[in-house]
A and B are shown apart, each in its own frame.
Chain A
Amino acid sequence: MKAHLLSAADLTRDDALLVLDTAQELAQIADRPIKKLPTLRGRTVVNLFYEDSTRTRISFEAAAKRLSADVINFSAKGSSVSKGESLKDTALTLEAMGADAVVIRHSASGAPHRLATSGWIRGSVVNAGDGTHEHPTQALLDAYTIREHLAGGAGDLAGRRVTIVGDVLHSRVARSNVHLLHTLGAQVTLVAPPTLLPVGVEQWPCDVSYSIDAPLPQTDAVMMLRVQAERMDSAFFPSAREYSRRYGLDARRMAALPEHAIVMHPGPMNRGMEIGSDVADSERSVIVEQVTNGVSVRMAVLYLLLGGAPLVADEEESA
């Protein structure tokens, strides 16, 4: 592991498996009467959230607290990116407070990168979602969930077929998942209208389809991305209804999936838009599990970044 978790692309296959295996051990803690480990006692984890994301913040908070870290929630909502100076000043404040790790959610792509590399702070930086760039812990919990269901909870995801459907262009979840699932050996297919695929996507390590129906029969896990209806104002698609008809996962399309396939969504869902309510609530849906797994995976990440001796930034762990 590197000193920070900024991008899923930073994780080697061994790193990723270490996180998943560690998360698996830590998942047991949730079943114990005492859901707490002393491991990060005396260490300070700051949740620095420039965007409202209660679910992600709570997940990180629970993870840090189960490891006995001191948690400081720093909600910077309202301080928009237009006042860029505040990130640096906030970082200097956090450094003065002795933050050992900063978990940052920011609307600007690359903000965690800046935090980690500009010398403002010494602690580890965990990207909890930056703009339209990445959300590596979401990809890790998705991989964990897929592995539990489709790979016997062990090893990598070699040969598993994952189809990711929706607004890939604006999705940090999709970017991180393409990196990580590819690293773990899965075959990823991105499905979106051409307007919601980034330029250069043909060079990503995945397949691309404009049709949701073609890949479904060969899909082991289908991941539906949140699509904001407002995107139609920028002419990404004509109407919410047309989007839903062409790219939404309804019961009819779910029936085209193989027997064992699972349905995923990073949340929050737009029921009736990208995913039908009956699909979201079906037995194939593992959406609630994803939330549970998020805590274990984030515990694993915090433990691996903070539990050992301080890692020098960007240096590989020594044997």
Chain B
Amino acid sequence: MDAGTTTQDSAGMHPGDKPVMSESDIARAITRMAHEIDERTTGAHDVILLGIPTRGVELATRLGARLSEIQGRAVPVGSLDITMYRDDLRRRPARALLPTEIPAAGVDDALVVLVDDVLYSGRTVRAALDALNDVGRPRAVQLAVLVDRGHRELPIRADYVGKNLPTSMRENVRVALAERDGEDGVFLSGPKEQS
């Protein structure tokens, strides 16, 4: 979960939210990204998907299921918590850790695709690269995101993008996934009112 993404767990429409991706848009985007991963990695059978909690994990699971179908093998999927590697820890009270589950075979010499819902400043991905570095040494690391909303603060780019969504920095992008939120959808909400 990248900075600038809202983290409400409540499902349903929020007043003022503008839908930008529907359930079918998300499904199509995931299928397309799965094919792209297969093509760009030339069908390599050492791909591991690591979702960044929270919603990156569900996306990685979905992506893994599609990729498994395409490749005809069970693509390993795991999760990688980046909390302890964040560069903004001291701006908020200490947060609860989220699960890190590395597939049993480990990541050494594998092609790891990090999966997140929204790419924004790039700081989450930077932290994820650090976290991954402490877990093992992949032969390559790539990045898949459902939404790239721009405004990068670090030299980081996604290899696979579900949707490029130009936003203003004052807007919020909310990703809802059925497993967690009861529905699928991506919404753009206006600037938060000062309360």
Contacts and interface: CB of A to CB of B under 8 A. Distances in A.
B94 A308 contact: yes
A21 interface: yes
Interface stretch (B36-44, B84-92, B173-181, B185-193): B84-92
Contact of B95 (A32, A308, A310, A311): A308
A62 to B, nearest CB: 16
A26 to B, nearest CB: 7
Interface stretch (A33-41, A166-174, A188-196, A245-253): A33-41
A26 B100 CA distance: 10
Given A37-B134, A38-B130, A303-B84, A25 B93 contact: no
Q: Which of B90, B91, B93, B98 has the most CB of A within 10 A?
A: B93
Given A25-B100, A38-B85, A307 B94 contact: yes
Interface residues of B, number: 19
Q: Which of A28, A306, A318 has the most CB of B within 10 A?
A: A28
Contacts of A18: 96
B81 A25 contact: yes
B84 A38 contact: yes
Contact of B97 (A25, A38, A310): A25
A21 B96 contact: yes
A308 B130 CA distance: 19
A303 B96 CA distance: 10
Interface of A: 1, 18, 21-22, 25-26, 28, 32-34, 36-39, 67, 303-311, 317-318
A22 B93 contact: no
Contacts of B97: 21-22, 25-26
B92 A309 contact: yes
Contacts, number: 54
A309 B84 contact: no
A143 B136 CA distance: 32
Given A38-B84, A39-B85, A28 B100 contact: yes
A284 to B, nearest CB: 30
Interface string B105-140: 000000000000000000000000010001110000
9 shortest interchain CB distances as A-B pairs? A308-B94, A307-B94, A25-B97, A308-B93, A39-B84, A37-B84, A34-B134, A317-B93, A304-B94
Contact of A308 (B85, B92, B98): B92
B99 interface: yes
A34 B123 CA distance: 22
Nearest to A303: B94
A303 B99 CA distance: 16
B93 A311 contact: yes
Interface in B56-92: 81, 84-85, 89-92
A60 B127 CA distance: 26
A39 B89 contact: yes
A67 B134 CA distance: 13
16 contacts: A18-B96, A22-B96, A25-B81, A25-B98, A26-B97, A32-B135, A36-B134, A37-B84, A37-B134, A38-B130, A39-B89, A303-B94, A307-B89, A308-B94, A308-B95, A309-B90
B134 A1 contact: no
A106 to B, nearest CB: 26
A32 B134 contact: yes
